[in-house]
Amino acid sequence: MFYGLFMIALGFLVKAAPNLISGYNTMPEEQKKNVDIKGLSTYLRNGFILIGLTIIIGFYFFKWIGITLLSNSITVIATLLGVTVMVINSQKFDHNKNKKNWLTHLILGLVCIFVIGIIVYGFIPAKVSVNNDTLSFSGMYGFDIGVSDIKDIELAESIPAIRLRTNGFSLGNINKGYFKLERYGNTHLLLHSNKSPFLVITKTNNEKIIINYSEQAKTQEVYSTINRLIKK
């Protein structure tokens, strides 16, 4: 959701300030004259907005129909495909004979935006909401779980060592996604810190979900919320 809004805002920014476009802003004035900057900025604006809307709509649509994997992957899929198409089609706005440096800067700029966006998105803490006895954790690798699917919960002072990331995001103390842990095996993590306590959810099929936040009080608050629900 956040990353989709970021892409939409970026689209309007590129249109309002074309000189921010990577590659074009360092181009000599003589070469700039051969670039249809009005057409290019409009094209990039529309492209970024389309990517942003695809991310937002795709996330909720796939979540609604129950395809969690696509819902969680739509940011990466839409961005990679969208940026690739934009890079290829943007060439038509540059009428200089030598386009190599211009396109290289453009590609690098867009890739940097994507990487920075993913990192920012990964650092956003998961928000918890309750709707009709279903718990929803937002953000990167967020998920929904029915209260009836929860077998047990506990606050642990430590968790087994992470042995392998199978499909997830890791940077510093942030670990989100699917990892293999000692004793637990495949485990869904939403870890925002390496400090205790850790909220360990055991599902009825014995799969584990481990969550924590940088603020201990937040982890305890989520634990209390879930505990009240399962004891109804």
Segment 141-166, tens digit of pLDDT: 999 999 899 999 999 999 999 888 78
Cα–Cα dist 2/121, whole Å: 7
Residues in the chain: 232
- For 112-147, the pLDDT digits (tens) are 777 777 878 888 899 888 887 888 999 889 999 998
The answer to whether 203 and 151 have CB atoms below 8 angstroms apart is yes
The answer to whether 133 and 229 have CB atoms below 8 angstroms apart is yes
Cα–Cα dist 49/158, whole Å: 43
Distance of CA 31 to the CA centre of its chain: 36
pTM for this predicted structure? 0.63
Q: Which of 116, 199, 122, 120 is nearest to 155 (CA)?
A: 199
